[in-house]
């Protein structure tokens, strides 16, 4: 958007400069001529001088404004570097989660993460932890996520000296940075989404209170891929998901899941 405005501003400025140079040239020619026609042209341009100056000044201000906007958007550390840095660390968190789900699916459980009403991502995380696939609680949190706890827990369960496992209550009570799919078979197609950044809405956009403040998020797929999406679109050239049965483009992640699958929320269960 900013790039298009920048080109438009440059084009407008060039046109006005060329026109102004034309006015100056005509005035000089008219000044050295003595015909009535050239005299009339000179009077016309003399009367229009103020309008040309205003137009040129306006185009110049527009050009400066667009340049400033373009520069600030591309060089604002809090917008570009900050988001890029958080995205890099978040990818490093999402990738182990995707790999853990693949490893758990390879054990051929009847269903991946059997979920009941009220279950959350915390329930799926407990399955992965108890199966020995992933016990690092930090995987479920993104740096600078406004909803993340100040003191992030480092494990999902603790193993006591006698071998008994104890669920980390700090993890159970925390809002996580990811949402996950549950209640699906272990042999779904490779392009089935299994986990994604919290806040993905049915229209393919990310909520303003998502970890990246609505600017995008990650989606992990059953084959272990992790992809970044600013938003999902339904056009042929847009980034999109595929409906599970028809493979038609969709922006609704629930339509990309098999029948019976559910989405586990990232917020802790009521009463926790």
| Mean of pLDDT values over 35-63 | 55
Question: Cα–Cα–Cα angle for 103, 108, 109, nearest 5°?
Answer: 100
Which of 72-76, 83-87, 240-244 is predicted with the least confidence, judged by mean pLDDT?
72-76
The total of other beta-carbon atoms located within 10 Å of residue 95's CB is 16
In contact, 130 and 157? CB cutoff 8 Å: yes
**SS3 category, 58:** helix
Whole-number Å distance between alpha carbons of 119 and 126: 11
| Mean of pLDDT values over 101-116 | 94
Q: Residue 167 has what pLDDT?
A: 86
- Using the predicted structure, report yes or no on whether residue 72 has a pLDDT greater than 70: no
Average pLDDT, the chain: 78
Which of 56-60, 169-173, 216-220 is predicted with the least confidence, judged by mean pLDDT?
56-60
Give, for 18, the enclosing helix (H) or strand (E): helix 2-32
Which of 104-113, 120-129, 157-166 is predicted with the least confidence, judged by mean pLDDT?
157-166
Q: Residue 208 has what pLDDT?
A: 95
Of residues 198 and 86, which shows the higher confidence score? 198
Reported as a single tens digit per residue, the pLDDT across 237-257 is 668 899 999 989 999 999 999
pTM: 0.68
pLDDT grade for 151, boundaries at 50, 70 and 90:
confident
Which phi-psi region, left, alpha or beta, contains residue 175 (left: φ > 0; alpha: ψ -120 to 50)?
A: beta
Beta strands 165-167 and 178-182, pairing class: unpaired
Burial tier of 163 (Cβ tally within 10 Å: 0-12, 13-18, 19+): exposed
Whole-number Å distance between alpha carbons of 9 and 15: 10
pLDDT grade for 70, boundaries at 50, 70 and 90:
very low
Give, for 129, the enclosing helix (H) or strand (E): helix 121-130
Whole-number Å distance between alpha carbons of 211 and 8: 35
Task: Write down how long the chain is.
Answer: 272
Structure tokens at 109: 């459980």
Reported as a single tens digit per residue, the pLDDT across 5-43 is 445 556 655 665 555 555 555 555 545 544 555 555 555
Reported as a single tens digit per residue, the pLDDT across 184-230 is 999 999 999 999 999 999 999 999 999 999 999 999 999 999 999 99
Whole-number Å distance between alpha carbons of 175 and 268: 6
Give helix 36-75 / helix 2-32 axis angle, nearest 10°.
160
Q: Residue 229 has what pLDDT?
A: 93
Whole-number Å distance between alpha carbons of 212 and 228: 11
Q: Residue 78 has what pLDDT?
A: 42
């Amino acid at each position: 958007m900013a790039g298009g405005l920048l080109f438009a501003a440059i084009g407008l400025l060039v046109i006005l400069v060329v026109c102004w140079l034309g006015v100056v040239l005509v005035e000089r020619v008219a000044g050295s001529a003595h015909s009535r026609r050239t005299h009339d042209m000179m009077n016309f341009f003399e009367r229009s001088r103020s309008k040309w100056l205003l137009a040129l000044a306006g185009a110049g201000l527009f050009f400066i404004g667009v340049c400033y906007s373009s520069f600030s958007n591309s060089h604002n550390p809090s917008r570009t570097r900050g988001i890029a840095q958080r995205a890099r660390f978040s990818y490093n968190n999402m990738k182990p989660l995707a790999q853990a789900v693949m490893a758990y699916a390879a054990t051929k459980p009847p269903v991946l993460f059997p979920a009941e009403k009220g279950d959350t991502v915390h329930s799926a995380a407990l399955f992965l932890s108890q199966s020995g696939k992933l016990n690092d609680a930090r995987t479920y949190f993104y740096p600078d996520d406004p909803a993340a706890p100040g003191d992030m827990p480092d494990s999902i369960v603790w193993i006591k000296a006698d071998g008994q496992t104890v669920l980390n209550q700090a993890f159970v009570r925390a809002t996580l940075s990811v949402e996950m799919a549950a209640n699906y078979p272990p042999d779904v197609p490779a392009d089935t989404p299994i986990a994604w950044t919290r806040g993905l809405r049915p229209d393919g956009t990310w909520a303003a209170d998502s970890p990246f403040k609505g600017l995008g998020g990650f989606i992990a797929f059953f084959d272990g891929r992790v992809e970044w999406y600013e938003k999902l679109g339904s056009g042929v050239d847009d980034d999109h998901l595929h409906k599970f049965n028809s493979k038609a483009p969709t922006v609704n992640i629930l339509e990309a899941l098999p029948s019976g699958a559910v989405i586990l929320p990232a917020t802790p269960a009521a009463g926790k």
